[in-house]
Amino acid sequence: MSFDPKKMMAQVAKMQEDLAKAQEDLAGQTVEGSAGGGMVKAVVTGSGELRSVSISADVVDPDDIEMLEDLILAAVKEATRSAQALAQQKMSGLTGGLGGLGLPGL
């Protein structure tokens, strides 16, 4: 099997195009994380941008601000983990083809 630099460059260009499209698609998708039985919710895009946080009035206790802060943090972390998993799932299908470029291990 001979190395064809033109073929490799065409494959790299196609992969870059596919990755850019996947990143654009991810930016348009959202995932949600919640905490406190759904009393605090965070929405994050597939690219990791925090879009919104909603808090149920039932969880607002002026005497326990720390609990509310913890719930917000937990909801944002969960949404961020979901966004990362979505991105990894979407990108793994695209980057898995690097081995066919004569670049083993990628």
Domain ranges of the chain: 28-97
Instruction: Give Cβ neighbours of residue 80 (< 8 Å, ≥ 6 apart).
Output: 33, 44, 48, 50
> How far is it, in rounded angstroms, from Cα 84 to Cα 59?
28
Only one residue has tokens 């494959």, namely: 11
Tell me which of 3.30.2010.10, 3.40.30.10, 3.30.1310.10, 3.50.50.60 is the CATH number of domain 28-97: 3.30.1310.10
Query: What does the block give as tokens for 25?
Result: 């698609």
Question: Is-contact 48 84, C-beta < 8 A?
Answer: yes
**How does pLDDT run along the chain (106 residues), one tens digit per residue?**
678 888 888 888 888 888 888 888 888 899 999 999 999 999 999 888 999 999 999 999 999 999 999 999 999 999 999 999 988 888 887 766 554 554 444 4
